[in-house]
Chain A
Amino acid sequence: MTALPRRIIKETQRLMQEPVPGISAVPDDSNARYFHVIVTGPEDSPFEGGLFKLELFLPEDYPMSAPKVRFITKIYHPNIDRLGRICLDILKDKWSPALQIRTVLLSIQALLSAPNPDDPLANDVAELWKVNEAEAIRNAKEWTRRYAMDN
């Protein structure tokens, strides 16, 4: 494996020294490009009280290419599918090498606070979110309790 670029070392240091509130991102002991991430469900969202595990991987050409991020904990959300894949523009065509792990994680946290059913990844969830938001929120709370609490 090639030496870790300065950029990754610096980002990791900063993530450890000044963690983002509500987010923990710890590099794997054996692979410094792989991060174990835990995002706390934001207050006043159906995910409140949940702890959501994610994995984040920095590809070989990071930061020229976006990090790969995926939810491991099951979550009921219109922009996150069954496999945990996230529909977020900055992870795709709006990626800029000037963005960082920190900004990506903040955007994911913001996505939990403000689901966007008009740009769906999980179609059935998005559909319900649009036609019956109250029921969708009930489902999201139920999934949070079932999959993202006391684990």
Chain B
Amino acid sequence: MSGEEYDSDMDYSEEDCGYADYYNTEEDCDIDQIDPSKTDPEYFVFDCLSVEEVERLLNESVESLSNSLQITPSLAKVLLHAHNWLISEIVSKYRSDSSHLLVISKIKPPHPPEPSILQLGRLQSCPVCLASQSSDKFKSLACGHPFCKECWSMHFEVQITQGVSTGIGCMAQECEVLAPEDFVLNSLSRPALRDKYQQFAFRDYVRSHPHLRFCPGPNCQVVVRAKEPQAKRVICNVCRAIFCFRCGTDYHAPTDCSTIKKWLTKCADDSETANYISAHTKDCPRCHICIEKNGGCNHMQCYNCKHDFCWMCLGDWKSHGSEYYECSRYKENPNIAHESVHAQAREALKKYLHYYERWENHSKSLKLEEQTLLKIKTRINKKVMDSSGTWIDWQYLLDATSLLAKCRYTLQYTYPYAYYMEAGPRKELFEYQQAQLEAEIENLSWKIERAETTDRGDLENQMDIAEKRRATLLKDFLENWPILSSSKRKTFF
């Protein structure tokens, strides 16, 4: 069996279509009616595996490679880990130049080892512990560097304690040969240490496997498997975490993996700077140069035009009495500080803040709407108990709330995308669609909050419009869409 094909006894997990799931609407389950790989830009087939299932999967690859190359399973693991579990590639490289493959995989040294100076029964000094021992107490890897067995096991113990497993190498200086699993395990006597080694190795194997991804949910043991390492939406069927399969972070369409990483790093780095600048700088009301406040005193003097003014209200300092904290102009016009755009230095920050504020705002709205969902559930419960309608009558309202969350989530992630977009017609189109989506989302939100007085047909119509806007935006801007050939996906069924 090839490691790249899925075994049939593992069924794809059924994504349930329950209303508790915000991001999952009925269309994901309608695969019989239309081919979703052609219509849904977020369509992605994956399954959620347990640790045991993944172990079985990995072992099948190990066995297959070990059989076709006639090597130990332990060496097969080193090869698979070093070459992203691509069995066919490893086999063909092995057939064309096995020696080269073993060297680049750090199984063999680049130069053949010196003829062994070990002579049976003779005493020899271990280069690490400096103890003289008989030669049968020594062991070496393919590089031939001999060390006593006791030193090997101490070396492994220290490395494993530091979390190293597949990366443990020979003890000789500048020797890069790796210690295969059987060599390590044979040197370890404590079962706890052997377990630890195997745990760390498993972690390394999953990380080097292009079709596997650990679920990032807190304390979740699930490993997600998909055919291709694409930036697609995955929902863990155990902890419900929603993440991008390729990078393992929060799902981020239409923004791509590297852009969202850049954006999140920027937000983390800049939040300090941005807060500092908005809290500590203002423009001089007379010459509009950017002034930094570096003390507690609210009496400012502009270093450029020497104008004296009040930091709080930006009014002329001369008009201020002793109780300047009561300055009325501050209350009258709190936004005066934001009106001038003369300071060149703040242009970039303003652009960033424009996107950042909207990004943040939608994230907050998403949290508020989670509360709305809870309220709606309570309300429906009450209505059903009062015999005004049945559960099924009110289902549409929950569906609407789920859809709202899904749309707003996508809207939130359009802002990092737009921030990094170059100006031009494509950005104009993007921002036009973004504005359309935003408008329909706010309409939907308004109608949901007033659901009892809104006509059901009207609400369902609004849901349809919002989702269409979302899908249009994703289809036009999602990476790899529709480049990915649908024939590849069809092999799944």
Contact B130 A99 (CB under 8 A): no
Which among A27-35, A57-65, A77-85, A130-138 touches the partner chain?
Answer: A57-65
Within the complex, the shortest CB–CB distance from A61 to chain B, in Å, comes to 5
Contact B172 A96 (CB under 8 A): yes
Interface status of B92 (Cβ within 8 A of chain A): no
Which among A4-12, A112-120, A142-150 touches the partner chain?
Answer: A4-12
C-alpha gap A129/B174 in the complex (Å):
29
C-alpha gap A11/B175 in the complex (Å):
23
Contact A97 B128 (CB under 8 A): yes
1/0 per residue, CB under 8 A from A, across B137-176: the answer is 0000000000100010011011100000000000111110
Closest residue of chain A to B151, judged by CB? A97
Within 8 A of B (CB), among A71-125: 94, 96-99
Within the complex, the shortest CB–CB distance from A19 to chain B, in Å, comes to 19
Known: A96-B173, A97-B151. A63 touches B131 (CB 8 A): no
Contact A64 B154 (CB under 8 A): yes
Contact A7 B128 (CB under 8 A): yes
Interface residues on B, range: 10 to 19
| Number of residues from A at the complex interface, CB < 8 A | 14
Closest residue of chain B to A65, judged by CB? B158
Question: A6, A61, A96: which contacts B171 (Cβ < 8 A)?
Answer: A96
Contacts of A5 in B (CB 8 A): 129
Within the complex, the shortest CB–CB distance from A9 to chain B, in Å, comes to 9
Closest residue of chain B to A11, judged by CB? B130
Contact B172 A10 (CB under 8 A): no
Contact B129 A64 (CB under 8 A): no
Contact A6 B128 (CB under 8 A): no
Known: A64-B154, A64-B158. A98 touches B131 (CB 8 A): no
Contact A99 B173 (CB under 8 A): yes
Within 8 A of A (CB), among B62-108: none
Contact B155 A97 (CB under 8 A): yes
Contacts of A99 in B (CB 8 A): 173
Contacts of A61 in B (CB 8 A): 154, 158
Contact B158 A98 (CB under 8 A): no
Interface status of B127 (Cβ within 8 A of chain A): yes
Contact B130 A6 (CB under 8 A): yes
Contacts of B159 in A (CB 8 A): 64
C-alpha gap A131/B422 in the complex (Å):
36
Contact B158 A96 (CB under 8 A): no
Contacts of A11 in B (CB 8 A): 130
Question: A10, A64, A65, A96: which contacts B130 (Cβ < 8 A)?
Answer: A10
C-alpha gap A7/B155 in the complex (Å):
15
Contact A6 B158 (CB under 8 A): no
Contacts of B157 in A (CB 8 A): 64
Contacts of B174 in A (CB 8 A): 94, 96
C-alpha gap A98/B158 in the complex (Å):
15
Contacts of A94 in B (CB 8 A): 174
Closest residue of chain A to B145, judged by CB? A98
Contact B127 A98 (CB under 8 A): yes
C-alpha gap A98/B171 in the complex (Å):
6
Within the complex, the shortest CB–CB distance from B157 to chain A, in Å, comes to 8
Contacts of A98 in B (CB 8 A): 127-128, 171-173
Within the complex, the shortest CB–CB distance from B410 to chain A, in Å, comes to 42
C-alpha gap A126/B245 in the complex (Å):
41
Closest residue of chain A to B132, judged by CB? A6
Contacts of A97 in B (CB 8 A): 128, 147, 151, 155, 171
Question: B127, B129, B154, B175: which contacts A6 (Cβ < 8 A)?
Answer: B129
C-alpha gap A11/B128 in the complex (Å):
11
Contacts of A6 in B (CB 8 A): 129-131
Within the complex, the shortest CB–CB distance from A21 to chain B, in Å, comes to 22
Closest residue of chain A to B128, judged by CB? A97
Contacts of B128 in A (CB 8 A): 7, 63, 97-98
Contact B171 A7 (CB under 8 A): no
Closest residue of chain A to B175, judged by CB? A96
Within the complex, the shortest CB–CB distance from B453 to chain A, in Å, comes to 65
Contacts of A10 in B (CB 8 A): 130
C-alpha gap A57/B21 in the complex (Å):
57
Contacts of B130 in A (CB 8 A): 6-7, 10-11
Contacts of B158 in A (CB 8 A): 61, 64-65
C-alpha gap A98/B145 in the complex (Å):
10
Closest residue of chain B to A59, judged by CB? B158
1/0 per residue, CB under 8 A from A, across B170-193: the answer is 011111000000000000000000
Within the complex, the shortest CB–CB distance from B225 to chain A, in Å, comes to 33
C-alpha gap A5/B131 in the complex (Å):
10
C-alpha gap A107/B172 in the complex (Å):
17
Contacts of B129 in A (CB 8 A): 5-7
Within the complex, the shortest CB–CB distance from B147 to chain A, in Å, comes to 8
Between-chain CB contacts (< 8 Å), 15 pairs? A6-B129, A6-B131, A7-B130, A7-B131, A10-B130, A11-B130, A64-B154, A96-B171, A96-B172, A97-B151, A98-B128, A98-B171, A98-B172, A98-B173, A99-B173
B residues touching A (Cβ–Cβ < 8 Å)? 127-131, 147, 151, 154-155, 157-159, 171-175
Given contacts A6-B129, A10-B130, 8 further A-B contacts (CB under 8 A): A11-B130, A64-B155, A65-B158, A96-B171, A96-B172, A97-B171, A98-B171, A98-B173
Closest 6 A-B residue pairs measured CB to CB?
A64-B158, A96-B173, A97-B128, A97-B171, A98-B127, A10-B130
